[in-house]
A = this chain, B = another copy of it.
């Protein structure tokens, strides 16, 4: 086996996984059938079982691994670069807006975190969510927030994004998602109001 063929295989498998992200997040774990997977990847069922002997569950696991990498290299990269915290949060926002298509596309994490399939992917989902939260919290800590408050606000950011996606899909309008996302950077960096002002 030549080095080239190894690279080719890796590329093709990664390409297949990349396409599976959209399948799983559109149909959910239970709604994703081998037939849909075969169609999306252009591979026959036997080829798929060759690459993923564990079947659908192994594919979903691979998809989560792939998403974890995408999150680190794509979504969270701008958070860890130099620059103003506000600018870095806005850069993340642009990536989020694109990934979720203004809230019209579902979140893979949410799809796999709910339902009976959640047990199998709990560890992976939890790990990815924590990476995301911690990356945001880091920025807030650099902006001089206490670590506990930074973590809390970072969690709030994920909560608002996830909730906005649900409301956007439930109401069939992208307005809530756009509004939430627009306000997110400033909300996260909003100074704590001294209690004496209330």
Contacts and interface: CB of A to CB of B under 8 A. Distances in A.
Q: Could you tell me the dominant secondary structure of chain A's interface residues?
A: helix
B163 A158 contact: yes
B167 A179 contact: no
Interface in A98-125: 106-107, 109-111, 113-118, 122, 125
A106 B170 CA distance: 15
Chain multiplicity (copies): 2
Given A110-B114, A159-B176, A193-B193, A170 B126 contact: yes
Contacts of A172: 122, 126
A30 interface: yes
Given A107-B166, A113-B166, 8 more contacts: A28-B115, A30-B30, A109-B170, A118-B169, A129-B170, A129-B171, A159-B167, A159-B180
